[in-house]
Structure 1
Amino acid sequence: MSRPHRPGSGIRSAWWCEFSTRTPAFGDGDERVLLRAQSAETPTQVMVWIRLAVRVLLSGFDPRDTERAYHWLDHGQWEAVARLADGEPYAFTAAAGRTHVEWSARPVLFLPLAHTATGPLGRCAEPALCACTARGHRCGGHRR
């Protein structure tokens, strides 16, 4: 007797990466602004993404954070890869004047998205996000 074919669950593990800033507002507290978010398949991909971004912004960091970032680029990312591989979240932060920037990653499970009766899901189902919410802004072919 043959067993019926059962497709895999389609659930996959990955890491969700975010780049955000916080700048003290006038008056009450500060506001977090998400500038970019994307998924990564491996902890190494997470570190490649963070390392590239840190290197681009390095010259704008405060002197103490510039030194700390250089040290992290030379040694710290290996600890981060190990922590991510163990299922722990990770974040790297730095200051540029009054603005604090943060790159973070955390393990997630992605559920499969099904096609609708009218066809595949639209571009909004893709993992990358656009932080621009300006009226009429066109991002990758869809309107916000």
Structure 2
Amino acid sequence: MKPPQWGYWCECWTKDLAEGWQPALLAAFDAYSAPQADRWVAVTLRTISPALDADASDEAWEWLYEGRIETRRALLRSEPCTVSVTHANTRITWTIRPVLFLPLMHRQGAELSACAETFETFKPHPAG
């Protein structure tokens, strides 16, 4: 069995500020290095920046040019990081947290613990 591995859990959330809606998770990503984690945010910001309003685009490029190195340094110190931009009434927030990824046991060819037999296979509810 593989040993646990340190990495980063990355999420992208949005929140409508005008309507007061609860935040919605848009995407999640498992990164295995600080460069991979901050690159996920950087690629996303570069991709969406042309569609953002001027202020949000400026926020995005400010982080890309100035804030990204501080984010990388914080991640290398195992500190969680947040990057946010506000477009119109929508706040977009990326979070990156250091985590310990635990290996999963493959169900074939391995003896599972006794408690594994107590879990039932997922059965969807019938439509109706």
TM-score, normalised via structure 1 length: 0.68
- Structure 1 unaligned runs (5+)? 1-6, 120-144
Counterpart of 2:9 (choices 12, 16, 19) is 16
Whether 1:74 and 2:65 are equivalent positions in the alignment is: yes
Give the drift of 1:65. 2.9
Figure out how many residues of one structure are paired with residues of the other and give that number: 110
The two structures, once aligned, show a CA RMSD in angstroms of: 2.0
Stretches of structure 2 lacking an aligned partner (at least 5 in a row): 111-128
Amino-acid identity (%): 30
Q: Larger deviation: 34-43 or 68-77?
A: 68-77
- Give the Cα–Cα distance (whole angstroms) in 2 for the partners of residues 15 and 115 of structure 1: 23
- CA 24–67 in structure 1, closer or farther in 2 if over 3 Å, else same: closer
Which amino acid in the other structure matches residue 73 of structure 1? L
Per-residue CA deviations over 1:27-68 (Å, capped at 9, x if unaligned) read xx3211111101101110011110010011113334333223
Give the distance between the partners of 2:9 and 2:32, measured in 1 at CA. Answer: 9
Structure 1 CA distance, aligned partners of 2:71 and 2:53?
A: 22
- Give the one of 91, 109, 120 matched to 2:82: 91
1:42 aligns with one of 26, 33, 38: 33
2:18–2:89 contact (8 Å) kept in structure 1: no
- Name the structure where helix makes up a greater proportion of residues: 2
Pick closer, same or farther for the CA change 1:101–1:94 going to 2, 3 Å: same
